[in-house]
Amino acid sequence: MTTAGIDAVEIRTGNLKLDLAETFAPEKDEDPAKYTKGLGLHASSFPDAYEDIVTMGANAAKRLMDRKGLEPEDIGRIDVATESAFDHSKPVSTYIAGCLEDVYDDDFHHANKGERKFACVAGTQAIDDAVNWIQAGKNRGRAALVIATDTALYARGDSGEATQGAGAVAMLIDEDPDLVSVDPVQGFGSADETDFLKPNQQFPSVDGKRSMQVYLARMREAMMDVESQRDLHPDDFAVVPFHIPFPGMVRKGAALGFRHISRGTDVEEELAEEIGMQPRLEDFEDEEAYRDALSAYTDDLTETDRYREWYDKTVEPTLGISRYVGNWYTGSVHLARASALREARSNGRNLDEQKLLVCSYGSGAQAEIHVETVQPGWEEEIAALNVEEQLRDRYDLTFEEYEQIHDVHNYDESTDIDAFTTPEEEFVFDGWGRMGERKYTYVE
């Protein structure tokens, strides 16, 4: 079978920043620690008045193509994953392709284009589609562009407001990739749920408590599906990237995952001396008592040195970027992967041929867990990212400015304000066309 996976990645943040501790918390009369320690977030990334999901996606894709020396003829498909689309018919991929065609001498007329929607898991689904397309031999030597782009906005005053974020992750999916190969092993957990949804509305309706339960339940099912194909052990994986609605949620997912894959292994036996063996359903009279015992065991587990060492090595490094940009919906888990590889390179950690256990999730609800193998060219690819520069150069919003920019990107408002930053060498939103479509141009 042809080896396929992510050959290169580029990240594009929104050009604006909202500091949660210094700017957001005081206006809400809240302790900053509620955000920095509870949610695990320090700042959110926002799009300026001339930015949206198209500009962020196109800017990430252009930098990726330029860096890899690619032309449109090298790309056989463009798949965009988003839950922030503004058109119910015309896919975002066509807008992005149109932007790119304005700066290249060729076009994408022979590239297949589409838009994937399944909440935050859609970016991973689009990677699956591209890998399958390559391994089926339909690519004719060409690569695929997968772009996850979102503006994760909540209604003002909503409990999820502090988790907002905006940005794009562009990934080149190709044969013999330089970053990670996608292994055949993958597992799914899926069910019809109403934990988070947007029925004909821009801002989500969220059942927060239910959403946490569904997230963990679908992850557990996906893990069991993986286990039906291969044995799992906590030490098998160098990095475990999760979907990150906010880092605090990942802590719960990671504890569940570690407990599950250590069950029946030498790790469980090692921990038994400290916290006992994991509860088994057959030892309890009813499921409620079993669940209570399992919850208590998990709490004890997270206090052990063995778990903390595993978490600090495999999960904590995935959170570095997300802490300062918020939730990017479809791009979230792909930020997590890039963040971990970036930190590994910074610390001189050799990940060649090491395994990743990628845990994606989308409300509604579906989890996918799959295995990836880090390729020897990963360090060069990660070194090419300029995300630190982007984070540093963002415009720091006051709370009043945040309210203004939130209204600009609220489809129900008609707010018109001057941009806070000056675009340079990037695609920008440039008004409306004759049929109500959005128009774009490239600013030198």
Q: Which of 10, 42, 51, 83 is catalytic?
A: 83
Q: Confirm if 53 and 149 have CB atoms less than 8 A apart.
A: yes
Q: Confirm if 18 and 46 have CB atoms less than 8 A apart.
A: yes
State the Cα–Cα distance between residues 361 and 237, nearest whole angstrom. Answer: 19
DSSP tally for the chain: helices H, then strands E:
14, 15
- Phi, psi values for residue 63, rounded to 5°: -65, -40
Q: Which of 99, 120, 316, 368 is catalytic?
A: 120
Q: Is 120 a catalytic residue?
A: yes
Q: Is 409 a catalytic residue?
A: no
Using alpha carbons only, what angle is made at residue 408 by residues 150 and 18, rounded to the nearest 5 degrees? Answer: 65
In DSSP terms, 17 is beta-bridged to 45, 396
Residue 376 burial class via C-beta count within 10 angstroms: exposed 0-12, middle 13-18, buried 19 and up: exposed
Identify the helix (H) or strand (E) that includes residue 405. Answer: helix 399-408
- Phi, psi values for residue 133, rounded to 5°: -60, -45
Question: b/e string for 380-415 if b means 16 or more Cβ within 10 A?
Answer: ebbeebebeebbeebbebeeebbebbbebbeeeeee
SS3 state of residue 216: helix
Q: Is 303 a catalytic residue?
A: no
Distance of CA 222 to the CA centre of its chain: 18
Please count the other Cβ atoms lying within 10 Å of the Cβ belonging to residue 301: 21
Q: Which of 42, 243, 406, 409 is catalytic?
A: 243
Using alpha carbons only, what angle is made at residue 152 by residues 223 and 396, rounded to the nearest 5 degrees? Answer: 125
Please count the other Cβ atoms lying within 10 Å of the Cβ belonging to residue 102: 11
State the Cα–Cα distance between residues 420 and 431, nearest whole angstrom. Answer: 17
State the Cα–Cα distance between residues 59 and 357, nearest whole angstrom. Answer: 29
Catalytic (active-site) positions? 83, 120, 243
